[in-house]
Chain A
Amino acid sequence: MSKLHVTTKVNGDTVEFLCDPRETLLDVLRDRLGLTGAKEGCGTGDCGACSVTVDGRLVCSCLMLGAEAEGKEIATVEGIAEGGALHPLQKKFIEYAALQCGICTPGILVAAKNLLEKTPDPTEEQVRYWLAGNLCRCTGYDKIIRAVMDTAAEMREAS
């Protein structure tokens, strides 16, 4: 099977890779680009552990082919911190203990950041619906929701 040549941007950097047509964007990120932040929980769009944004739009990277990344701008959890400085969401997740095993955390951070960019002042209901496709088997969600709400409040004050 001949491989496809793809040029895309990941977290602001132009990257090129060769991939099999059947490889998902998640496979490419993890196995070809060494970006193992996005996780594979299910591979079928149900858990959200593989969440990334593509041209600013939140998607499951397991439901997109690597080939479809051509010419796109991908953002993953690896791009959230600026250098050594954690993003406010990351700090709040630590402060609130909004993670235990951490498998769901990269996807939830990407999803929550995307929400706050569009909706800086969300209601709790909006946060819960927005994150309904991000499953967490450890925390019971409450700490995650509180961490996101508090980050939103803090970011509004700071801006």
Chain B
Amino acid sequence: MQYHRPATFEDAVTLAAGAQGVTRFLAGGTDVLVQMRSDIVTPDTLIDIKAIPGTHDITRQEDGGWRIGVAVTGAEMREHAELDRDWPGLVEAMDLIGSTQVQGRATLTGNLCNASPAADSVPAMIAAGVTATITGPDGSRTAPVEEIPAGPGKTSLARGEMITALHVPPRGTGGGDAYLRFIPRTEMDIAVVGCGVNLVVEGDTITHARVTLGAVAPTAVLVHAAEDALVGRTLDEEALTALADLAEASCNPIDDKRGTIRFRTHVAGVLARRAAKIAYDRAKGAAK
């Protein structure tokens, strides 16, 4: 295995595009090192991106949105009070990943590109409308994060392409997001179901809604119909029931020892209700 620590994204992309065999980028390494250790994936080329300037920064953009560097850790997001005020759901989703020790290393980009169906930050990112800058040998492009995972352990990134930054949209007024997951214990487990909700309200009326589910299909699911079902209404019992039904109908889960199809589907509806209530309260300005 060759270990590289390039000082620029250009060098990183050149290395990745020219490498033979299995290539991995090394952000926090909390997936890469586990896979090496378990002999699941042993890269021939490992490209450590953490020496590239700017990769550790969380930066407020002119439009009020955020740029999150590809080496920013969960712990750094949790400690960033302003980011947490704008996007508490995104921050809490990242914060659920692993232990304090894992938080000291794990990144949003790594969680996205590892492409686990149960990745916790991914439903929250999709709900928030996060986009990624992707850079490859032929230049850069921008894509919504939901286009990146392509199936368990697979991404849509071409050989030599990497993510160079994540962009969280401006929160604006009247917005609130939330993420909930079900696990059989309180810490250190993999989501059986995860649910992200991002709402914007005017008064009590919902004007924008994005609802996502994790761990109920090969990639995170955007519940498209939820937008129509919620926009223009208040979050009353009828709206919540409609939302739960839509969430259940969007599930295509697997049956395994961690949850049956029936259980996962039911829990998706329950979490959608609960996460929507939290997001709605936050949107209406409730203190977190």
| A125 CA to B62 CA, complexed, in Å | 39
State how many angstroms separate the Cβ of A136 from the closest Cβ of chain B: 13
Residue of A nearest to B105 (CB): A59
CB contacts (< 8 Å) of B36 on chain A: these are: 22
Tell whether, in the assembled complex, residue A59 and residue B50 are in contact, meaning their CB atoms are under 8 Å apart: no
Q: Give A102-129 interface residues, CB cut-off 8 Å to B.
A: 111, 115, 129
State how many angstroms separate the Cβ of A125 from the closest Cβ of chain B: 10
State how many angstroms separate the Cβ of B252 from the closest Cβ of chain A: 29
| A60 CA to B28 CA, complexed, in Å | 11
CB contacts (< 8 Å) of B34 on chain A: these are: 44-45, 63
Counting chain A CB atoms within 10 Å of each CB, which of B73, B98, B99 scores highest?
B99
| A68 CA to B30 CA, complexed, in Å | 13
Q: Is B187 an interface residue (CB 8 A)?
A: yes
Tell whether, in the assembled complex, residue A133 and residue B1 are in contact, meaning their CB atoms are under 8 Å apart: no
Tell whether, in the assembled complex, residue A60 and residue B3 are in contact, meaning their CB atoms are under 8 Å apart: no
State how many angstroms separate the Cβ of A4 from the closest Cβ of chain B: 6
| A84 CA to B37 CA, complexed, in Å | 37
Majority DSSP secondary structure for residues of A touching B: mixed
The interface on chain B, measured as residues whose beta carbon lies within 8 A of the other chain's beta carbons, has a size of 28
CB contacts (< 8 Å) of A45 on chain B: these are: 30, 33-34, 98-99, 101-102
Tell whether, in the assembled complex, residue A44 and residue B37 are in contact, meaning their CB atoms are under 8 Å apart: yes
Tell whether, in the assembled complex, residue A133 and residue B100 are in contact, meaning their CB atoms are under 8 Å apart: yes
Q: Is A46 an interface residue (CB 8 A)?
A: yes
State how many angstroms separate the Cβ of B70 from the closest Cβ of chain A: 15
Q: Give B1-28 interface residues, CB cut-off 8 Å to A.
A: 1-3, 5, 26, 28
State how many angstroms separate the Cβ of A119 from the closest Cβ of chain B: 11
Tell whether, in the assembled complex, residue B33 and residue A59 are in contact, meaning their CB atoms are under 8 Å apart: no
Q: Is B46 an interface residue (CB 8 A)?
A: yes
CB contacts (< 8 Å) of A63 on chain B: these are: 28-30, 33-34, 101-102, 105
State how many angstroms separate the Cβ of B188 from the closest Cβ of chain A: 6
Q: Is B229 an interface residue (CB 8 A)?
A: no
When the two chains form the complex, which single residue of B38, B48, B100 contacts A44, counting CB atoms closer than 8 Å? B38
Tell whether, in the assembled complex, residue A58 and residue B37 are in contact, meaning their CB atoms are under 8 Å apart: no
Residue of B nearest to A54 (CB): B104
| A129 CA to B26 CA, complexed, in Å | 27
A63-B33, A68-B48 given; A132·B100 CB < 8 A? yes
CB contacts (< 8 Å) of B28 on chain A: these are: 63
CB contacts (< 8 Å) of B186 on chain A: these are: 132
Tell whether, in the assembled complex, residue B101 and residue A60 are in contact, meaning their CB atoms are under 8 Å apart: yes
Q: Is B75 an interface residue (CB 8 A)?
A: yes
State how many angstroms separate the Cβ of A7 from the closest Cβ of chain B: 13
CB contacts (< 8 Å) of A43 on chain B: these are: 37
Tell whether, in the assembled complex, residue A133 and residue B29 are in contact, meaning their CB atoms are under 8 Å apart: no
| A131 CA to B187 CA, complexed, in Å | 10
A44-B38, A133-B188 given; A58·B3 CB < 8 A? no
| A46 CA to B99 CA, complexed, in Å | 8
Interchain residue pairs with CB less than 8 A apart (24): A1-B1, A4-B3, A21-B3, A44-B37, A45-B30, A46-B188, A54-B104, A57-B75, A58-B101, A59-B104, A59-B105, A63-B33, A63-B105, A65-B3, A67-B5, A67-B48, A68-B26, A68-B29, A68-B50, A130-B100, A132-B100, A132-B188, A133-B101, A133-B102
